[in-house]
Amino acid sequence: MAYTFRGGIHVEEHKNTRTSHIEPMPAPPLVKIPCSQHIGTPCSPLVSIGEHVLVGQKIGDVSGGLGVPIHSSVSGVVREIEELSTPIGARIKNIVIENDGKNEVSPAVKPFPKKLTEATPEELIDMIREAGISGMGGAMFPTYAKIQSARGKVDKLIVNSAECEPYITANHRLLLETPAQVINGVKILLYTIGIREAIIAVEDNKINAINRLSELLAKDKMIRIAVMKTKYPQGDERQLIYALTGKELPTGKLPSDAGCVIFNAETCAAVFKAFSTGTPLISRVVTIDGDCVAEPKNVLVPIGTRYSDLIDFCGGLTAMPKKIINGGPMMGFAQWDINAPVTKGTSAILVFSEKAEPHYELPSACIRCGRCVAHCPMHLMPSYLAMFSQHGMYDLAEEYGAMSCVECGSCSYNCPGQVQIVQHIRVAKGAIKAAAAAKKAAEK
């Protein structure tokens, strides 16, 4: 029987690109590489305007604190270092590079010089950091730091390939087309962390990928497949851990408190690529879909490619877009700039017209049906949280567990009253965090 968790919802899958082979996109004429594509301190540029750079060359790094470097995905000339706004309002420097079309690779790009078993964990952690690898499932936590904090604390590695968001099929195709890259990446991570058990968690709507992995891992003693029930948000770390281990993670606790460390499948593949070829994280698989896209597909995209170039590669737009989303429709972020760049955390770009957007005549109202409560995977009372937030009663929202909300959107998706529950909870969480920060500052 497939593993699962309590609560959650069944969403329309719209996995239109599940049979679309990953197509490598030629490097565009210009890339914009953001200096912050990870959680932590943004990078400072290591190059200046007018400088010539090569493919895989380090062009930015973090001088202290949590963070990973950034690298050029093309060879060419740095034209500009501009500040742009992210969808959540932060201002981030972007290194704009004009592609010279020569695709000259940096001499620094070379395979790891030792066999895996001859390397120390510290050397491998350093290699993973230098390759600029951060979580590619969207969380963007630096992978080297996750390994460091897992060593000595966990006994299980989980590969998160649930891919439970509608539309996105990038991980599915990766597992189907290049499963060895993921498996070898898992082996490197197991060795580096110093553990011997890994579980690749895949939802049961990807049977061909499950069969392919099962064939390859038939005799493997360390890595096994776990077939997960197709349900949203199966890919949320807490639901994954509960489904696989029966352990519930209270708010504020990390997967390592349950003895687990979780990596996205493409992050594992990136670790293997860095080890075997020396190539840092300069490209990733992105699903392009939505009713405005002429040819929805999965594309291997150079990091820094503008959405507009990527959409052109997919045949262009067929209608005026109403909404562009970076990520899935449930948890992704709406974008206002079609020239924003693909980053290490971009799993999908979805472009929808007005037709695809639901339009409601009546104002939203809670009819006390309780559906949101029944479906919340964190066992919260979303209707109450939304109400407290609307009335500015943030202390009550905190008391009722607002900070445990993982913002999965299962409550809003099912709400017959069209209450924008998640948005209200996000407002409450922001206010609670701001109040905590102000209190801390006052105490200092």
Closest CB 371 distance from ligand SF4, rounded Å: 4
Selected from 42, 67, 278, 409, the binder of ligand SF4 by CB under 6 A is 409
Binding flag, residue 301, ligand SF4 (CB under 6 A): no
Q: Does 419 interact with ligand SF4 (rule: CB under 6 A)?
A: yes
Q: Which of 91, 221, 359, 368 binds ligand SF4 (CB under 6 A)?
A: 368
Binding residue for ligand SF4, selected from 53, 147, 292, 376, defined by CB under 6 A: 376
Q: How far, in Å, are 29, 146, 207, 329 from residue 233 at the CA level?
A: 38, 22, 19, 12
Binding to ligand SF4, residues 91-130 (CB under 6 A) = none
- Give the list of residues 6+ apart from residue 284 with CB closer than 8 angstroms, or none: 136, 170, 266, 270, 300, 301, 303, 342, 344, 346, 347
Distance CA 53, CA 435 (A): 45
In angstroms, the CA 342 to CA 339 distance is: 9
Q: How many whole angstroms separate alpha carbon 435 and alpha carbon 2?
A: 42
CB of 388 to ligand SF4, least distance (A): 12
CB 413 within 8 A of CB 372: no
Which of 308, 407, 420, 431 binds ligand SF4 (CB under 6 A)? It is: 407
Q: Is 427 in the site for ligand SF4 (CB under 6 A)?
A: no
Give the 3-state secondary structure of residue 17: coil
430 part of the interface to ligand SF4, by CB under 6 A: no
Pull the structure tokens for residue 263.
Answer: 């990596």
Tokens 């499948």 map to which residue?
A: 265
Contacts of 177 (CB under 8 A, 6+ apart): 21, 22
Q: Candidates 20-28, 100-108, 347-355, 372-380 — which segment interacts with ligand SF4 by CB under 6 A?
A: 372-380
d(CA 407, CA 405): 5
> At its nearest, how many Å lie between ligand SF4 and the CB of residue 331?
9
How many Å separate Cα 173 from the centre of its chain?
16
Minimum gap (Å) between residue 432 Cβ and ligand SF4: 14
Among 205, 287, 383, 389, indicate the residue that binds ligand SF4 (CB under 6 A): 383
Residue from 11, 182, 378, 428 that binds ligand SF4 (CB under 6 A)? Answer: 378
| Residues that contact ligand SF4, how many (by CB under 6 A) | 28
Contact 345, 136 (CB under 8 A): yes
223 or 402, CB closer to ligand SF4?
Answer: 402
Give the one residue of 90, 116, 367, 435 binding ligand SF4; rule: CB under 6 A.
Answer: 367
DSSP reduced 3-state for 64: coil
The alpha helices in 255-338, defined as continuous H runs, are 265-277, 307-313
Query: Which one among 103, 416, 437, 439 touches ligand SF4, defined by CB under 6 A?
Result: 416
When the beta carbons of 94 and 383 are compared against ligand SF4, the nearer one is: 383
Least distance (Å) between residue 31 CB and ligand SF4: 34
d(CA 295, CA 312): 10
Locus of tokens 């699962």: 4
**Spatial separation of the C-alpha atoms in residues 60 and 40, rounded to whole Å:** 14
Which residues in the 12-71 window bind ligand SF4 by CB under 6 A?
none
Query: Using CB under 6 A as the criterion, which residues of the chain lie in contact with ligand SF4 when the complex forms?
Result: 366-372, 376-378, 380, 382-383, 405-411, 414-417, 419, 421-422, 425
